């Protein structure tokens, strides 16, 4: 193996994050307390003096926030998560990063994959094929398998991987058949043939096993043209057999596809560890071994840390670099491990990461690299292809989500029975005037509330998957958003047509056919506006939990100001009436119902008010400000406005963030 087939290399990476002021204060207080106790025990004047000195302000830093210096806490109030870490992965090689919990494995993987927050100071260099990572192509170059396998439970293994292939393999280079052949290849390579057509499953329905799920996640990344695969703890949560099978599969795939594969891994068995070509051991953000796993035995034996009889060497070497009790002995041992390794690296006795100067070459021809660069620079598929695939995927999820379909049908039937019989066959007496007003006001409120749940419930997972897919440069936000609109708007509207139609005749509303169709159309308009509003709320809220709080809040405000509940709202709240879609739907429904209607005054009480015509009712309830046509115009404008705002919100809140320096 030579340095000139290096794919990814990292050089002297150092990453510091600021320690929160509160933590600094707590650490400083603890250190002072310990110092005080020590001085009290020693009862020595000299020691007391030194304590006073340490408590006094140094270099202008108030004593309360002086950091307690440890192996990783720096004097400038930062914590060092990575300290001069170098390494590399070559083509056809599988490398693991290991270490105790908190050693910095995930941090290193995040730095290498550029999925790092803006927080903190990053030094050092990461090179891919000998060059700095190109922000324009990086996200499509690298496959990143996250720890949580975010997938749609209702899709099958084959569907999950083939949707990834259809969206991530460039249309310009692969036709549909080639893409599907590749999917079958990946399924074979990852030994997923047995569960090819099984559903992934989720918390509600049992699906494939944990190991198969992890291999499917890997397949989703591998099916695209990536040459580098990064995985965050791909074996966590798996039993020993499943973990072994996942890593063995990865090893075979790495060799077969000449990939570079780098992963963090937790508590591997010795047999599993030996599957890797090389490992890098981290302690407190520093390297204390890098090389083939089998050579660890000789290295640690030489340092005097023989593996005790019956102990897994992998566990032993990781435990050596742990210091849970913060003992002086533990700290000394970790220092020894790190300094011995660095001494060896300095003396050139090890075969550590390639030197920066060596990493410039690559066995891939410059024509290959140019082709890759060009290919990764563009969206893999056209906007319309993205829209078609995403809409198909959303549609499958919708029709396969049987529990939600049953819940919606159940809700419709129950509401129909309750509302239908509560307002059954209304007549034309004075009491019926109020009942008609009541049902017409209730309907847009019900449409708003009942739409939010089915719109927001699937959005939590869809947003998370979208973020993962967008981090790989798979598709545009606009095609995702449009595909949601194309599925949500018609499905929510169409499924409610029977409800409005049956309710109309049960309640005995205006018997003309034209009024019936206008009634249904107006209610569907309200459902469409509410769906757009639901998508808007789900898009602008950074989390779905927040969306679930905002949605009822907005509904209640619209309800309060959208009808006659507040006949004269406070002047500074009047605008809320005119932005509430309920105002327009209710007004239009009332005009459709009452225009030309006649009512008998027979049961009006003595001195009571009698509305003999529908126009009097509309006037009394102030429901003639706009015509039906104008109300529809306002509803369309509100729907379009929130739809556009939702798209902008989604772009901002779900934008994948990368950091290269
Ligand atoms: N953004 C952050 N803010 C504060 N501390 C952080 C941040 N990111 C990481 N750390 C700290 O850095 C250390 C290394 O974290 P990291 O997640 O890389 O460890 P790890 O080796 O992957 O551990 P584990 O195996 O438990 O996942 C931990 O002590 C963690 O608490």
Query: ipTM value of the model?
Result: 0.95
Q: Which among 96, 103, 265 is the best mutation to test ligand 1's pocket, defined by most ligand atoms within 8 Å of the CB?
A: 103
If pLDDT is split at 50, 70 and 90, which confidence band does 111 have? very high
Residue 5 has pLDDT above 60, yes or no: yes
Residues in a beta bridge with 121: 16
Q: Which atom of ligand 1 is nearest to the CA of 104?
A: 18
Residue 358 has pLDDT above 80, yes or no: no
- Specify the higher pLDDT residue, 524 or 49: 524
- Specify the higher pLDDT residue, 202 or 313: 313
Residue 46 has pLDDT above 80, yes or no: no
Q: Where are the domains of the chain?
A: 12-80, 81-358, 383-653
Q: Which CATH class is domain 81-358?
A: alpha beta
> Is the CB of residue 153 less than 8 Å from the CB of residue 200?
yes
> 71: Cβ below 6 Å to ligand 1?
no
Q: Which atom of ligand 1 is nearest to the CA of 117?
A: 1
How far apart, in whole angstroms, are the C-alpha atoms of residue 37 and residue 175?
A: 74
How far apart, in whole angstroms, are the C-alpha atoms of residue 63 and residue 144?
A: 44
Give the side-chain half-sphere CA count within 13 A for 34: 7
Which pLDDT does position 564 carry in this prediction?
80
The rounded Å distance from CA 79 to ligand 1 centre is 11
Among the residues of 171-290, which ranges form H helices? 176-189, 210-222, 240-257, 270-273
Least confident residue range of 387-391, 461-465, 488-492: 461-465
Residue 168 has pLDDT above 80, yes or no: yes
Q: Which atom of ligand 1 is nearest to the CA of 282?
A: 21
Q: Which atom of ligand 1 is nearest to the CA of 120?
A: 1
Nearest to 451, CA basis, from 493, 410, 422, 423:
493
Which pLDDT does position 545 carry in this prediction?
86
Q: Which among 106, 237, 280, 324 is the best mutation to test ligand 1's pocket, defined by most ligand atoms within 8 Å of the CB?
A: 106
- Specify the higher pLDDT residue, 32 or 358: 32
How far apart, in whole angstroms, are the C-alpha atoms of residue 163 and residue 216?
A: 12
Q: How large is the average pLDDT for residues 265-275? A: 91
Minimum CA distance residue for ligand 1 atom 25 = 101
Q: How large is the average pLDDT for residues 22-41? A: 79
Which pLDDT does position 368 carry in this prediction?
59
- The count of other CB atoms within 10 Å of the CB of residue 568 is 7
E-state strands within 241-337: 260-264, 278-283, 286-291
Q: How large is the average pLDDT for residues 142-151? A: 89
Which pLDDT does position 606 carry in this prediction?
54
Which pLDDT does position 519 carry in this prediction?
97
The rounded Å distance from CA 614 to ligand 1 centre is 69
Q: Which among 107, 109, 112 is the best mutation to test ligand 1's pocket, defined by most ligand atoms within 8 Å of the CB?
A: 107
Sign of CA dihedral 433, 438, 441, 443: negative
> 107: Cβ below 6 Å to ligand 1?
yes
Residues in a beta bridge with 94: 261
Q: Which atom of ligand 1 is nearest to the CA of 99?
A: 21
Which pLDDT does position 407 carry in this prediction?
87
Minimum CA distance residue for ligand 1 atom 24 = 101
**Strands 6-18 vs 121-128: parallel, antiparallel or unpaired:** antiparallel
Q: How large is the average pLDDT for residues 401-414? A: 89
- Angle, alpha carbons 310-311-317 (nearest 5°): 155
Instruction: Tell how far CA 306 is from the center of its chain.
Output: 44
Residues in a beta bridge with 240: none
> Is the CB of residue 244 less than 8 Å from the CB of residue 443?
no
Which pLDDT does position 422 carry in this prediction?
93
> Is the CB of residue 526 less than 8 Å from the CB of residue 635?
yes
Q: Which atom of ligand 1 is nearest to the CA of 20?
A: 4
Nearest to 199, CA basis, from 163, 152, 167:
152
Which pLDDT does position 181 carry in this prediction?
94
Which pLDDT does position 361 carry in this prediction?
45
Least confident residue range of 350-359, 410-419, 539-548: 350-359
Which pLDDT does position 93 carry in this prediction?
94
Q: What is the pLDDT of residues 60-86, one digit of tens each?
A: 434 444 444 455 666 677 889 999 999
Instruction: Tell how far CA 587 is from the center of its chain.
Output: 41
- The count of other CB atoms within 10 Å of the CB of residue 483 is 22
Which pLDDT does position 67 carry in this prediction?
43
Which pLDDT does position 349 carry in this prediction?
58
Minimum CA distance residue for ligand 1 atom 27 = 101
Nearest to 655, CA basis, from 34, 139, 274:
139
Own/partner long-range contacts of 464-467 (Cβ < 8 Å, ≥24 apart): 464/150, 465/150, 465/151, 465/152, 466/654, 467/654, 467/656
Largest Cα–Cα distance in the chain? 108
Residue 345 has pLDDT above 90, yes or no: no
Least confident residue range of 62-66, 113-117, 372-376, 629-633: 62-66
If pLDDT is split at 50, 70 and 90, which confidence band does 373 have? low
> Is the CB of residue 498 less than 8 Å from the CB of residue 420?
no
Which pLDDT does position 661 carry in this prediction?
83
Minimum CA distance residue for ligand 1 atom 20 = 102
Collapsed DSSP state (helix, strand, coil) of residue 118: coil
Contacts with 603 (C-beta within 8 Å, 6 or more apart), sequence order? 429, 430, 431
> 103: Cβ below 6 Å to ligand 1?
yes
> 106: Cβ below 6 Å to ligand 1?
yes
Collapsed DSSP state (helix, strand, coil) of residue 176: helix
Q: Which atom of ligand 1 is nearest to the CA of 81?
A: 12
Mean pLDDT of the chain: 86
Element holding 85 (H helix, E strand): strand 78-90
* pTM (predicted TM-score): 0.83
The rounded Å distance from CA 106 to ligand 1 centre is 7
The share of the chain scoring above pLDDT 70, in percent, equals 89
Measure Cα distances from 412 to 214, 361, 450, 454, 502 in Å: 39, 66, 9, 13, 11
Minimum CA distance residue for ligand 1 atom 3 = 17
**Strands 78-90 vs 260-264: parallel, antiparallel or unpaired:** unpaired
The rounded Å distance from CA 107 to ligand 1 centre is 6
Q: What is the pLDDT of residues 563-596, one digit of tens each?
A: 888 777 788 888 899 999 999 999 999 999 999 9
User: Is 508 exposed, middle or buried, given 0-12, 13-18 or 19+ CB atoms closer than 10 A?
Assistant: middle
Q: Which atom of ligand 1 is nearest to the CA of 285?
A: 14
Least confident residue range of 5-9, 180-184, 609-613: 5-9
Q: How large is the average pLDDT for residues 5-10? A: 84
Q: Which among 81, 112, 262 is the best mutation to test ligand 1's pocket, defined by most ligand atoms within 8 Å of the CB?
A: 81
Residue 277 has pLDDT above 70, yes or no: yes
Nearest to 529, CA basis, from 443, 628, 448:
448
């Amino acid at each position: 193996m030579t340095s000139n087939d290096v794919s990814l290399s990292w050089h002297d990476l150092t990453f510091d994050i600021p320690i929160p002021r509160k933590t600094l204060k707590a650490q400083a207080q603890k250190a002072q307390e310990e110092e005080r106790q020590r001085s009290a025990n020693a009862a020595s004047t000299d020691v007391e003096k030194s304590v006073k000195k340490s408590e006094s302000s140094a270099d202008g830093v108030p004593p309360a926030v002086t950091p307690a210096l440890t192996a990783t806490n720096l004097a400038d109030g930062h914590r060092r998560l990575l300290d001069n870490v170098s390494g590399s992965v070559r083509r056809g090689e599988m490398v693991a990063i290991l270490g105790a919990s908190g050693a910095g494995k995930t941090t290193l993987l995040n730095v290498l994959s550029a999925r790092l927050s803006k927080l903190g100071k990053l030094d050092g260099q990461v090179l891919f094929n000998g060059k700095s990572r190109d922000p324009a192509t990086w996200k499509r170059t690298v496959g990143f398998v996250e720890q949580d396998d975010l997938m749609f439970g209702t899709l099958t293994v084959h569907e999950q991987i083939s949707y990834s292939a259809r969206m991530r393999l460039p249309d310009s280079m692969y036709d549909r058949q080639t893409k599907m052949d590749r999917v079958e290849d990946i399924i074979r390579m990852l030994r997923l043939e047995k569960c090819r057509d099984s559903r992934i499953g989720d918390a509600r329905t049992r699906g494939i096993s944990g190991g198969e799920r992890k291999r499917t996640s890997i397949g989703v990344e591998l099916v695209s043209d990536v040459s580098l695969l990064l995985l965050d703890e791909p074996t966590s949560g798996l039993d020993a057999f499943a973990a072994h099978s996942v890593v063995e599969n990865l090893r075979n795939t790495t060799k077969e596809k000449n990939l570079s594969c780098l992963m963090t891994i937790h508590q591997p068995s010795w047999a599993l560890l030996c599957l890797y070509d090389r490992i890098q051991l981290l302690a407190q953000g520093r390297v204390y071994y890098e090389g083939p796993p089998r050579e660890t035995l000789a290295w640690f034996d030489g340092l005097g840390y023989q593996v005790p009889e019956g102990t897994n060497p992998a566990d032993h070497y990781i435990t050596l670099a742990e210091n849970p009790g913060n003992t002086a002995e533990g700290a000394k041992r970790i220092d020894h491990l790190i300094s011995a390794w660095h001494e060896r690296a300095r003396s050139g006795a090890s075969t550590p990461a390639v030197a920066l100067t060596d990493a410039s070459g690559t066995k891939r021809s410059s024509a290959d690299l140019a082709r890759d660069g060009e290919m990764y620079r563009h969206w893999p598929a056209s906007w319309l292809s993205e829209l078609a695939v995403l809409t198909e995927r959303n549609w499958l999820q919708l029709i396969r989500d049987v529990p939600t379909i049953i819940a919606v049908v159940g809700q419709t039937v129950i509401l129909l029975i309750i509302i239908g019989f509560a307002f059954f066959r209304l007549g034309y007496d004075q009491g019926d005037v109020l009942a008609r007003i009541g049902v017409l006001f209730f309907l847009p409120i019900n449409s708003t509330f009942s739409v939010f749940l089915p719109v927001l419930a699937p959005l939590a997972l869809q947003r998370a998957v979208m973020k993962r897919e967008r981090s790989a440069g798979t598709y545009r936000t606009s095609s995702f958003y449009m595909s949601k609109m194309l599925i949500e708007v018609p499905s929510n509207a169409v499924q409610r047509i029977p409800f409005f139609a049956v309710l109309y005749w049960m309640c005995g509303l205006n018997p003309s056919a034209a009024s019936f169709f206008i009634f249904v159309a107006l209610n569907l308009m309200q459902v469409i506006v509410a769906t757009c509003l639901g998508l808007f709320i789900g898009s602008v809220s950074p989390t779905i939990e927040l969306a679930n709080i905002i949605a009822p809040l907005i509904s209640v405000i619209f309800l309060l100001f959208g009808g006659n509940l507040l006949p004269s709202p406070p002047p500074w709240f009047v605008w809320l009436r005119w932005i509430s879609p309920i105002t327009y739907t209710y007004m239009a429904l009332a005009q459709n119902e009452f225009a030309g209607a006649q009512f008998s005054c027979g049961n009006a009480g003595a001195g009571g008010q009698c509305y003999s015509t529908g126009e009097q009712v509309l006037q009394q309830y102030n429901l003639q400000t706009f015509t039906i046509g104008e109300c529809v115009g306002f509803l369309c404008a509100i729907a379009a406005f929130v739809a556009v705002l939702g798209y902008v919100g989604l772009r901002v809140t779900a934008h994948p963030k990368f950091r290269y320096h």
